[in-house]
Every structure is written in structure tokens, then in C-alpha cells.
Amino acid sequence: MQGVNNKFVCVPLLWADSQDGALSSDIISMKNYNQADIFIMVGDTIGKAAAVTLNKSAAVAAATVELPFTEFLSTGFVLEYDGASNAVIESAGAAFTGAGGGAGVVYKDLGNKLIAYGYNGTTFVDDETITFTTSGRTAVANGIQKNEDILVPRSTASATTYTFDLAAVASKMYCIPVSADMLGEDYDCLQLEIADADSTKLASWVVLSEPRYIGEIPETAIYD
């Protein structure tokens, strides 16, 4: 059985275009779905970091109430290494740089491999020195970065800060998972808000899953 129109539906929020100024997506109703995974894809380099927030409403109309979320995912990569200056495992959130200018942030250090995010677009080079900014620990890149299609789990700045910034770097994707119970009682609609990033190519869509309907063609999500 195919997944689309059975296990999930995909609905555009912001059509692919050269965007400028603050952006408000279409409002999506979750009354027929239990899960919404909101994706943001950034093409060319963003002129400045842009804050991402969510709002909620009781109908497909003006969404002005803040929708709390603290977890999201962003484009990551893997960098293998050897020749470390010590056996310390770097903590999550530790920044690192390559001698050639590549940079990233540790999500998980596996002792010989970094799962990371925050890649700045400069290629790591095999055998170059990697330096961890806070600890001063060094290692040697074992090949270049790879697995640039993975999405790495991340958290907002705090449990009461319901936003994150799109990095001012090209070719990035982000995802915000939203379950229906996150909207709270009396709310079933949501809207994506992106602050001004200056002129950039950007698109967004939502994958709605765990449907509550029975039928060959799913119920719409753009009407409530």
C-alpha cells in the first residue's frame, strides 16, 4: 500500500520562491490527524538569521496564540576522526573547527565519529586537524564529512523558549514535530511564522500522519 493518502498526506505551507520579509504560512487544521511534521527547506544563503515560531488557533483563521515547542531537527552530518589528543568524549553542543575552515557542533561524539550539525559549508579535508573550541582537544579528520542528508535532533535555547533561528547558511533543512496534544484543549490549527531572513529561496510543507478518518481520499487540512 502506498503511504501518501493512506498513512500520511503532504500539504504545502510556503511555496518554493525567492522570499523576503517576515513570512506567515497557510494555517493547517489537525482535527483529522494526530501528528504534523513541519519541514523548512532553505536554498541559497540567508542574508541574516531568522527566528522560527509557531502559532495556534481554534479555526482556520487568524492564529495569534503561541504554540509551545522545544524540540526540532536540522540538517546534520557525520565526520569520522582518529589521532585524538586524549580519550575525552566531547559533550553535546561542543563546537569544533577544521584547519581548513570547516565548522560544526557536536550532537554526539562516538569516540571515533562525530554526529554533528551546524555545518558551515566549508569542506573538511582528510588528515586535517580538528580542534574542539571549548576543551582545546584535537583530532585528525579521517576523510571528509558525509551523510549530509541526516536530520539531527536539537532543542530550543530553554524549556520556555519556543523558537530557534534558521542558520545564515545555504542548503539546510529543518523539521518541527508537532503532536495534536501539544496544541492543548480547544485548539486544533497551527501556523508557521518565519522572521525576515532578507531575500532567500525558501519553501515549507507539512507531513500529516496518524489520520483519524477512513476513506480513500483524505480529508483536507486547509479547512477546519
Report which of residues 212 and 112 the model is more confident about.
112
Indicate if 62 and 23 belong to the same structural domain. yes
Chain-centroid distance, C-alpha 77: 13
Separation of alpha carbons 31 and 52, rounded Å: 23
The tens digit of pLDDT for each residue in 2-23 reads 777 678 899 999 998 777 789 9
The pLDDT assigned to 199 comes to: 67
Clarify whether residues 34 and 82 are in a common domain.
Answer: no
Q: Is residue 2 part of a domain?
A: no
Q: Distance between CA atoms of 77 and 50, rounded to whole angstroms?
A: 22
pLDDT tens per residue across span 153-188: 999 988 899 999 999 888 899 999 999 999 998 999
Question: Are 33 and 137 members of one domain?
Answer: no
26 within some domain: yes
Together in a domain, 87 and 112:
yes
Secondary structure (3-state) at 67: coil
* Number of domains into which the chain is organized: 2
Instruction: List the domain range (segments joined by +) for residue 130.
Output: 75-141
- Residue 221 clears pLDDT 70, i.e. is over it: yes
Would you say 163 and 52 are in contact if contact means Cβ atoms under 8 Å apart?
Answer: yes
> Of 34, 58, 46, which is closest to residue 174 (Cα–Cα)?
46
Let me know: does 175 contact 86? Beta carbons within 8 Å.
Answer: no
Name the 3-class secondary structure at 66: strand
In this structure, the number of other CB atoms found within 10 A of the CB of residue 195 comes to 16
What type of residue is 163?
A: T
pLDDT value at residue 220: 72
Per-residue pLDDT tens over the stretch 42-52: 987 777 889 99
On whether both 65 and 81 belong to a single domain, the answer is no
Average pLDDT over residues 55-62: 90
Sign of CA dihedral 193, 22, 17, 57: positive
pLDDT surpassing 60 at residue 1 = no
**Can you give the pTM of this predicted structure?**
0.91
The DSSP secondary-structure symbol of 31 reads T
Please report whether residue 217 resides in a domain: no
The pLDDT assigned to 216 comes to 65
Encode burial over 34-70: b for 16+ CB neighbours within 10 A, e otherwise: ebbbbbbbbbebbeeebebbbbbbeebeebeeebebe
- Whether the per-residue pLDDT at 197 is higher than 80: the answer is yes
